[in-house]
Amino acid sequence: MSDATATSTATPGSSRLYFRQLLAGRDFAKNDPIARQMVNFVYAIGDRQTGEAVLVDPAYAPGELVDVLEADDMMLTGALVTHYHPDHSGGDMMGHNIAGVRELLERVEVPLHIQGDEVEWLRKVTEVSDDQLHTHTSGDVVMVGEVPITLIHTPGHTPGSQCFLVEGKLVAGDTLFLEGCGRTDLPGGDPAALYESLTQRLSRVSDDTTLYPGHLYSAEPSASMGDTRTHNFVFAPRNATEWMGMFGR
């Protein structure tokens, strides 16, 4: 594992934070051609002192991801999903069945945290039951031990897409990449909503926050929000009209 994409770090001022960025097809699911093609990131976030941890978007090989936690003396206590697409949550895609949250919950009974607007979509794709879902609204906080994870609803790529803010790190799923943003031409996509998410809902995320995307679509696996806002072309439009001219369907 390279230090760049599979790390366990403590944020300055906090010795509790456990944080790993794991690349599908390289750090786990190594023999899965779809995982290697899609280059998804899965994130492990936890509290070093209590040994509790959650997995973000645990697709492709959920059992291997639990093994990663256990090798680090961490215990899985929950899962968070940025959005319903099978490469993040599991399900059928491109003629293949991708293991995900359903298989994870078969191994370990833990809460699955999603935005309320994503429930119907996630249920259809993964066939998880309602009693396994913990639904949220924007601004809710999920505690992992004593480490708080703030949930930010960022619709646009899907109706219930969400980002996770934890101690100077933004895990953004497919809402925002270092270069570009999530597609809006798939079922549930909304370019106007994504513009609002990027320019309004994420506006309070400081420039010194580190962006951790849902895919390795750039040379680097992470960057500051300040650099992303400066260099990512999705922030070039000066208003919603210009945005829709570039990204509207």
What are the pLDDT digits (tens) for 180-238? 999 999 999 999 999 999 999 999 999 999 999 999 999 999 999 999 999 999 999 99
pLDDT at residue number 159: 98
Distances (CA, A) of 175 to 40, 69, 149, 172, 236: 13, 26, 17, 6, 16
pLDDT at residue number 247: 86
Backbone angles phi, psi at 174, to 5 degrees: -100, 10
Report angle CA 101, 105, 124 to the nearest 5 degrees: 45
Element (H, E) at 66: helix 62-71
pLDDT at residue number 128: 95
CATH architecture of 17-247: 4-Layer Sandwich (3.60)
The closest of 140, 202, 200 to 177, measured between CA atoms, is: 202
Distance in angstroms (rounded) separating the CA atoms of residues 47 and 149: 11
pLDDT at residue number 64: 98
Q: Which tokens hold the place of 45?
A: 């976030």
Question: Taken in order 42, 45, 48, 52, is the CA torsion positive or negative?
Answer: negative
Low-confidence ranges of the chain (pLDDT < 50): 1-13
The count of other CB atoms within 10 Å of the CB of residue 47 is: 20
The closest of 241, 239, 242, 219 to 231, measured between CA atoms, is: 219
Quote the mean pLDDT of the chain: 94
Q: Which tokens hold the place of 187?
A: 């079922």
Residue with tokens 């399900």: 91
